[in-house]
Structure 1
Amino acid sequence: MRLLNFLRSKSFWGSVILAVVLVFVAAFVALKWLKTTTNHDLHIQVPNLDKLDTDQALQKLEEKKLRMVVLDTLDYDKSLPPLTIIEQDPAAGMDVKENRKIYVKINAAGFGKVSMPDLEQLTFRQALATIRSLGLKEGTKSYRTFIGKDVVLGVSQNGKSLKQGDKVLKDSRIDFVLGDGKATLSDEERDVAPAID
């Protein structure tokens, strides 16, 4: 009974109304404070950093009060200038806040080196697929007498014979020595007894 009387009293309802008003005032003040401290309405447009070197990009970003973070150096793309920006995040034209980090990826200064795999005794088609997957190109082909046609007998570059593990620059050409398929096996190699007349 006392509880019901208290819930009907003016002091209870006055406290409820005062609490609701205080919550609304606190929320209004908090939102206004957040709007001013986070620069809610202030946006900076991200500049286009494509093909700029890091010094130029850094200067451009500092003018707009943005920061640059280099994420990675990507494989060399010869269609683009070396050591220039080729990717950025956020993209150019996006609206961001002041002091935002702009993440960039840079074109390498030149081609990196790869290790030569063991290509001997593979077919030319298998060997070609393997070197292309490493970023190498097909050079010249020469043939030597061998039983297997288009079987890789050796690889070279600029006249120097290559073996497994040798380092070569990506995008360079690899020359092949292939079997011509014209050799035949002797009776002994075929392990067949000669015919008796």
Structure 2
Amino acid sequence: MFKSNSFLGVIGHLLIMGIVVAALILGFFYYYLPSTTNHGESISVPKITGMQLQDAEMLLEEQNLRYFINDSTYKADQKPFQILTQDPAPGSKVKENRKIYVSVNMKNPPMIKMPKLIDGSVKNAELILKSYDLRKGKITYVPDLQQNAVLKQFVDGKEVKPGDMIPKGSLVDLHVGDGLGETEFEMPKVVGMPVDEASVLLVGQGLQIGNVFYVQGSEEPDGTVVRQRPYAEVGAKIRVGEMVDLWVAGPEPVQGIE
């Protein structure tokens, strides 16, 4: 035993205290801390994207991991409660009880305002629908002078106006103009007329000049319309925007030579 009042006794007590402190430090860092923080141990994060939330929860629990839903959205082509994204990524090394942040597909689509597609082209409508997470449905061409222009928009068979509330991801059907229109009138007769006058007359009535065929050997003067299609028969009708083919007497003009 060391005497407390001797020099050796003091040294002995200090030595014993140093050993105790060192043992406590070593025990804390090499035994207690590793046991409470799993120091040196890691878990590989499994891939849970594409899984149902319930199945992913079971898988994470088996590996001593947790999840936290930090976002939700709606995608019509995905199942309800399907995991869309995860963080950390699959294969990442994490500690036990680490939270895996996920985004989940909603069961019911949110309601959004129907965008304005009317008077725009079909191509423009497709771009707008995509930006709103809507889908292009059936396109029906109807008689109208506005060719390829969107005239009406429908969801579930009901016409919807811009600003109406519809479910996100809806199929939007479109009525599109065919460029012809509904108005019918008697087919004008241009046979016997000079081709330039016939063209002015047809275009002035909302018709289009189709194919022009030149016929040699005709008794009519060159440049005269000798035949037309559709024919100008009694009671023959034609719609605005339709084409009329012409047969013209004489040789075909050479381009660039007057």
- The two structures have a TM-score, normalised by structure 2, of 0.51
Shift in alpha-carbon separation, 1:55–1:123, aligned structure 2, 3 A: closer
2:87 corresponds to: 89
1:144-168 Cα deviation digits (max 9, x unpaired):
333x322222222343211011223
Amino acid at match of 1:130: I
Judged with a 3 Å threshold, the aligned counterparts in structure 2 of structure 1 residues 58 and 124 are, in CA distance, closer, same or farther, namely: closer
Counterpart in 1 of 2:44?
A: 45
- 1:157 maps to 155
Q: Take 1:137 and 1:57, find their aligned partners in 2: how far apart are those partners?
A: 33
Matching residue's letter, 1:75: Y
When residues 185 and 130 of structure 1 are mapped into structure 2, their CA distance, relative to the original with a 3 A threshold, is: farther
C-alpha deviations, 1:101-159, integer Å up to 9, x for none?
1111212224443321122222332223212322221322221333x322222222343
1:149-193 deviation digits (Å, cap 9, x = unpaired): 22222222343211011223344332222333335999xxxxxxx
Count, aligned residues: 159
SS in structure 1 of the partner of residue 149 of structure 2: strand
The letter of the residue matching 1:119 is L
Residues 46, 95 of structure 1: 8 Å contact kept: yes
- Which secondary structure state, in structure 2, belongs to the residue aligned with residue 150 of structure 1? coil
Corresponding residue for residue 10 of structure 1: none
What is residue 73 of structure 1 aligned with on the other side?
72
1:130: which partner in 2? 128
Asked if structure 1 preserves the Cα contact closer than 8 Å seen for 2:46 and 2:91, the reply is yes
SS of the aligned residue for 1:149 comes to coil
Relative to structure 1, the CA distance from residue 36 to residue 82 in structure 2 (aligned partners, 3 Å threshold; closer, same or farther) is same
8 A contact 2:142–2:177 mirrored in 1: yes
CA contact (8 A) 1:46 1:92 kept: yes
Q: Distance in 2 between matches of 1:50 and 1:145?
A: 48
Cα pair 1:137 1:171 within 8 Å, conserved: no
Runs of 4+ in 1 over 6 A off after TM superposition: none
Structure-1 separation of matches of 2:110 and 2:204 = 43
Structure 1: which 5+ runs fail to align?
1-24, 187-197
Residues in 1 aligned to 2:79 and 2:126: alpha-carbon distance in whole angstroms: 29
Kindly provide the amino acid, as one letter, of the partner of residue 93 in structure 1.
G
| Structure of greater relative contact order (alpha carbons < 8 Å, 6+ residues apart) | 1
TM-score, length-scaled by structure 1: 0.64
Q: Structure 1 or 2: larger helix share? A: 1
